Copies of this chain bind each other. A is one copy, B any other.
């Protein structure tokens, strides 16, 4: 028997191979748009979590690749629509679908991809998997609308932030873990545990994403640093910074949001203000709490090797 490769790498390669060899729809224009987004990279965290969840309840990951791929494709479809929604010019470092193909095609490509996914899921999987995925898409969209309404709202609380993050980001991680476990025949107890893992993981993931937007460089991000600030998003470092900040910082953020000076130096001053008000360190602390909760959720899985891999995945968010 061949020695088993480290499972993380293993699953990533499995997912990549699946996309390269098996993804195609009836519409060539849309297949091309999706392939471009897929080939631009991504960590494939959602499918990896689905496969690890299946494995952790005794399933064989390679038997659930299709389901795992649907999780990534739901994510890709929301990104295609985000390109329209935010008028973003780059995504993962490549031109966004909307830039290359126009808004009209982006809306239709996203719609087609959603429909194609549900068409396949409803043909291949029994209740409640199709229901979970459509409820997840409702959550994602609801979260995005809530986020839109809180843009530039300096009074946004941590509770509101968490509500948005749970819906917009964590719901798909939760569904990935839950559906992976369901498809592999996991007990209700384990399925629930994995869903909870996905929720906490997803919130921590969003918080790390918020931090990277302020602290990473453009080459790593594949998008401009401080992009969230320019879009007036109430990210968690900003929310926590404003909680404890003096009037001066508050006023500076207000001016930044109201004005149109988006020069790197101007953005850097806001980032420095967030750091000075403890926004970064407080976020690290809250984030660590969600990583801890994610790992604790896994207790019902006993000693399954995939449990350790899920925990390790959560630790990468610290």
Shortest A236–chain B CB gap in Å is 22
A134 touches B148 (CB 8 A): no
Residue of B with least CB distance to A85? B104
Q: Does A79 contact B (CB under 8 A)?
A: no
Question: Which chain B positions have C-beta within 8 A of A27?
Answer: 142, 145
Q: Does A14 contact B (CB under 8 A)?
A: no
Q: Which of B108, B127, B145 contacts A112 (CB 8 A)?
A: B145
| Given contact pairs A81-B111, A103-B84, A119 touches B131 in the complex (Cβ within 8 A) | yes
Q: Does A260 contact B (CB under 8 A)?
A: no
| Copies of this protein chain in the complex | 2
Q: Does A29 contact B (CB under 8 A)?
A: yes
Question: Which chain B positions have C-beta within 8 A of A130?
Answer: 118, 122, 130
Q: How large is the interface on A (under 10, 10 to 19, 20 to 34, 35 or more residues)?
A: 35 or more
| Given contact pairs A108-B141, A145-B108, A122 touches B114 in the complex (Cβ within 8 A) | no
| Given contact pairs A104-B85, A127-B122, A134 touches B115 in the complex (Cβ within 8 A) | yes
Alpha-carbon distance between A119 and B107 when the two chains are bound, in angstroms:
21
Shortest A100–chain B CB gap in Å is 14
Q: Does A138 contact B (CB under 8 A)?
A: yes
| Given contact pairs A104-B85, A104-B148, A149-B29, A141 touches B122 in the complex (Cβ within 8 A) | no
Alpha-carbon distance between A181 and B81 when the two chains are bound, in angstroms:
34
| 0 or 1 for each of A64-108: is its CB under 8 Å from B? (1 = yes) | 000000000000000001001110000000000000000111011
Q: Which of B104, B134, B149 contacts A119 (CB 8 A)?
A: B134
Residue of B with least CB distance to A82? B107
- A residues contacting B by CB (< 8 A) are 26-27, 29-30, 81, 84-86, 103-105, 107-112, 114-116, 118-119, 121-123, 127-128, 130-131, 134-135, 137-138, 140-142, 144-145, 148-149
Known A108-B141, A115-B134; 10 more pairs at CB < 8 Å: A84-B103, A85-B104, A105-B145, A108-B144, A112-B141, A112-B142, A114-B114, A115-B140, A118-B118, A123-B131
Could you list 16 examples of A-B contacts with CB < 8 Å? A81-B111, A86-B104, A108-B145, A110-B111, A111-B141, A112-B138, A112-B142, A112-B145, A115-B135, A115-B137, A115-B138, A118-B137, A119-B131, A122-B122, A122-B128, A122-B130
